[in-house]
Amino acid sequence: MSAFPDPEVVRRAAAEAGQDQVFRFWPRLAQAERRALAAQVAAIDFPLVNRLARELVTGPAARKAAPAGRVEPPVVFGMPRTGAERALFREARDRGESLLRAGRVAAFLVAGGQGTRLGFDGPKGCFPIEPAAGRTLFHLFAARIAALGKTYRRPVPLLVMTSEENHDATLRFWADQRYFGLPPWNLSFFRQDMLPAVDDAGKIILESPGRVHTSPNGHGGSLSALAKSGALADLMRGGFEELFYFQVDNPLAEVCDPLFIGMHALAGADMSTKVVKKTDPAERVGALARMDTVPTVIEYSELGEDRSRLRAPDGSLLYCAGNAAIHMLRVEFVHRVTSDPAFALPYHVAKKQCPAVNDLDPAAPPLATAGYKFEMFVFDALRHARATTALEIDRAEEFAPVKNATGVDSPATARAALAARERRRAAAAVAAAGAASGAPAGPA
Ligand code: UTP
């Protein structure tokens, strides 16, 4: 059997799908370019792409609908106030620690995104974020994983999801950094799937005469990527029960926080979420809510201005549980959903600038054109969970995402948050040492 798909078969499939414009430069392509294009197009799921284009771009229902269903605020564990709540938190932390000591928890970092808003040349994880020492995002997470291994005397495996766009660069970076001292056998890197972007007419965009423009299929692609890559099977073979999911852009993420692990485990939850309190209703972060009693994250744009401004009698915002994009996932849950042929997360569409071949001068650099990218979101898996929990965290301690090059959620704000946390921790350590020695805390 040939390792290359038959170009004629692939061209016929594209033509049948109404997408044969991807072959419009075929006559001028060199042999190697033809092979590459045929292989790339052969991997496209045309029925899926055409359905998404119809439903989300060209069709009459393509405009974003308001959530259909009864929307209510979520149930969230806030900071403990009563003795019973404090006891529950203690029990949860103990449970989380015992799972870590027993080697039942793995860390799962999703780093397949394009990071277009940050505009950094390279995988976002290679961005130097630490204020003084300049350690990168990857380095900070690796240091945390190493520290966990020491504390609990059990190494915590780290799974890193990349995408075709940044996989090689990510691997090179980790290898160049000698895996930051972590044992390579405890690390696993795998790619998520890619999807083509389409134009206003639902036609797949070519970025060059011999290449379709694709983008990663969203962080929701992480569940199927775990299964397809074999990482999930490895976890199950190794006796791992829980996955701590976090995103590469939050340097404050308290990776494998035992309290969160324990709350999730005590509740027998399939999937759990950390939330930060939204103080400004206009903050552009998805809100955890319940839709017809089922936990769900509603995007800022879908929640609507009126609902996002609703307040409880005590004046607090009703929909204030901002999704911090930190989750616990039960390994068995990921296995259950990904082995169900009927399981699918919904796709969302984003209109973004895409590189498109210049038809008048195909050899010239691509032009920027408006295109539509399709993505799945991991939080949509919440509705498949039989049980869930949500834990409110202190934003100053655990949440400072790096999204934009400047302004809000930028390296500047994340560095300020890291520095402030460092100062608080140093002060707390001094105070604790003072208390232990009986000396008064603070400067002499
Ligand atoms: P964002 O939604 O912020 O997207 O990702 P992004 O691609 O990093 O950045 P922009 O929108 O292009 O500026 C949140 C987290 O989800 C991961 C990212 O790597 C980041 O950790 N992600 C996102 C994936 O792993 N895969 C994706 O397809 C999308």
Domain membership flag for residue 406: no
Please report the pLDDT score of residue 440 as a whole number. 59
Please report the pLDDT score of residue 444 as a whole number. 38
Rounded average pLDDT over 75-95: 96
CA gyration radius for the chain?
24
Query: What is the CB < 6 Å shell around ligand 1?
Result: 110-117, 124, 161, 192, 216-219, 221, 247-249, 375, 403
* pLDDT surpassing 80 at residue 290: yes
**CA atoms of 149 and 83, how far apart (whole Å):** 32
What's the CA-to-centroid distance between 169 and ligand 1, angstroms?
Answer: 16
Q: What is the CATH number of the domain that holds 358?
A: 3.90.550.10
- Least confident residue range of 8-12, 57-61, 405-409: 57-61
Phi, psi of 276 (to 5 degrees): -115, 145
Domain membership flag for residue 6: no
Please report the pLDDT score of residue 279 as a whole number. 77
Query: What average pLDDT is seen over the chain?
Result: 94
Please report the pLDDT score of residue 443 as a whole number. 46
* pLDDT surpassing 80 at residue 61: no
Through-space distance between the first and last CA atoms of the chain, rounded to whole angstroms: 79
Please report the pLDDT score of residue 280 as a whole number. 87
Residue 80 CB neighbour total at 10 angstroms: 14
From residue 49, how far is each of 61, 244, 269, 349, 374 by CA, in Å?
A: 16, 31, 33, 12, 9
Domain membership flag for residue 12: no
Please report the pLDDT score of residue 50 as a whole number. 98
Tell me how many domains the chain contains: 1
* pLDDT surpassing 80 at residue 419: yes
Helix then strand then coil, % of the chain, to nearest 5: 40, 20, 40
Q: pLDDT-based confidence at 43, cuts 50/70/90?
A: very high
Phi, psi of 236 (to 5 degrees): -65, -40
Please report the pLDDT score of residue 316 as a whole number. 87
Domain membership flag for residue 423: no
**CA atoms of 378 and 380, how far apart (whole Å):** 5
Domain membership flag for residue 18: no
What's the CA-to-centroid distance between 98 and ligand 1, angstroms?
Answer: 32
Atom index in ligand 1 nearest the CA of residue 162 equals 25
* pLDDT surpassing 90 at residue 234: yes
Domain membership flag for residue 428: no
- Per-residue HEC secondary structure of 248-295 comes to CCCCCCCCCCHHHHHHHHHCCCCEEEEEEECCCCCCCCCEEEEECCEE
Task: With H, G, I as helix, E, B as strand and everything else as coil, classify residue 107.
Answer: strand
Which residues make Cβ contacts (< 8 Å) with residue 23, sequence separation at least 6? Answer: 11, 14, 37, 41
Please report the pLDDT score of residue 331 as a whole number. 98
Rounded average pLDDT over 343-354: 94
Pocket test for ligand 1, best of 108, 109, 114 (most atoms within 8 A of CB): 114
What's the CA-to-centroid distance between 353 and ligand 1, angstroms?
Answer: 16
What is the torsional sign of CA 25, 27, 30, 33?
A: positive
In the chain, pLDDT over 70 holds for what percent of residues? 96
Please report the pLDDT score of residue 47 as a whole number. 97
Domain membership flag for residue 158: yes
Q: pLDDT-based confidence at 4, cuts 50/70/90?
A: confident
Please report the pLDDT score of residue 439 as a whole number. 67
CA dihedral 413, 414, 415, 418 (to 10 degrees): 130
Amino acid in position 62: A
* pLDDT surpassing 50 at residue 40: yes
* pLDDT surpassing 50 at residue 122: yes
* Domain extent for 301: 66-401
* pLDDT surpassing 60 at residue 442: no
Tens-digit pLDDT profile for residues 238-283: 999 999 999 999 999 999 999 999 999 999 999 999 999 987 888 8
**CA atoms of 13 and 11, how far apart (whole Å):** 5
From residue 300, how far is each of 136, 281, 291 by CA, in Å?
A: 30, 9, 15
What's the CA-to-centroid distance between 164 and ligand 1, angstroms?
Answer: 13
Structure tokens given for 221: 């692609």
Q: pLDDT-based confidence at 197, cuts 50/70/90?
A: very high
* pLDDT surpassing 80 at residue 373: yes
Domain membership flag for residue 272: yes
**CA atoms of 247 and 160, how far apart (whole Å):** 10
Closest by CA to 173, choosing from 127, 228, 126, is 126
Atom index in ligand 1 nearest the CA of residue 111 equals 19
Tens-digit pLDDT profile for residues 380-397: 999 999 999 999 999 999
Rounded average pLDDT over 399-416: 97
Length of the chain counted residue by residue: 444
Model-level pTM?
Answer: 0.95
- Give the residues across from 321 on adjacent strands: 277
- Hey, whose CA ends up nearest to atom 15 of ligand 1? 247
* pLDDT surpassing 60 at residue 344: yes
Rounded average pLDDT over 124-132: 96
